[in-house]
Amino acid sequence: MELIARIRHRVGYVWYWRVKHWWLDTQSGRVAQITAAVLFALGTVAETVRMTLAALTPPAAGAPHQAIIGVIIVLIVALVAAVVAIAMMPKPKQPAAQQAQTPVTDDGQNARRAYGTVWVDDSFLLAWAVVGRDPIKASGGK
């Protein structure tokens, strides 16, 4: 194997599984998960505080109108996008009131045994059962 292929194999496959095992299956990986979650939460809180303080500071003269216009434009774009999404949504088709055709099983037919990777053209149905006719009943917390 050439050098570049060996490096790609080692980095792309071997180290991927080692890092995955460390992250998911070891105690230090669990500590790293908790640390990452805490850092993410602290970053989120810090950004929220920064945005709140920026919103509470008084704007310069003439700036409030520009900010309000920007918010109005964003709301109009969101409203138009929602209307277009609702208009483009596919309408559900009503099911036909016909009797469904159930497959037929032949009594005494054996399942074909295929060993290895093969392609079986003559598929058959070994069994058929109608399920889902009884409604699900809640026990009511009893």
> Are 31 and 38 within 8 A, CB to CB?
no
CA 40 – CA 51 distance, rounded (Å) = 16
Q: Which two tokens stand for residue 103?
A: 């497959």
- 81 in any annotated domain: yes
- 66 in any annotated domain: yes
- 43 in any annotated domain: yes
- 100 in any annotated domain: no
Question: Which of 18, 19, 17, 46 minimizes the C-alpha distance to 33?
Answer: 19
pLDDT at 94 over 80: no
On the CB side of 74, how many CA atoms lie within 13 Å of its CA? Answer: 6
- 139 in any annotated domain: no
pTM: 0.37
pLDDT digits (tens, 9 = 90+) for 6-54: 887 777 777 788 888 998 999 999 999 999 999 999 999 999 998 888 8
pLDDT at 81 over 90: yes
Number of domains in the chain: 1
- 106 in any annotated domain: no
- 101 in any annotated domain: no
Rg of the Cα atoms in the chain: 31
pLDDT digits (tens, 9 = 90+) for 105-132: 666 667 667 777 777 666 666 666 666 6
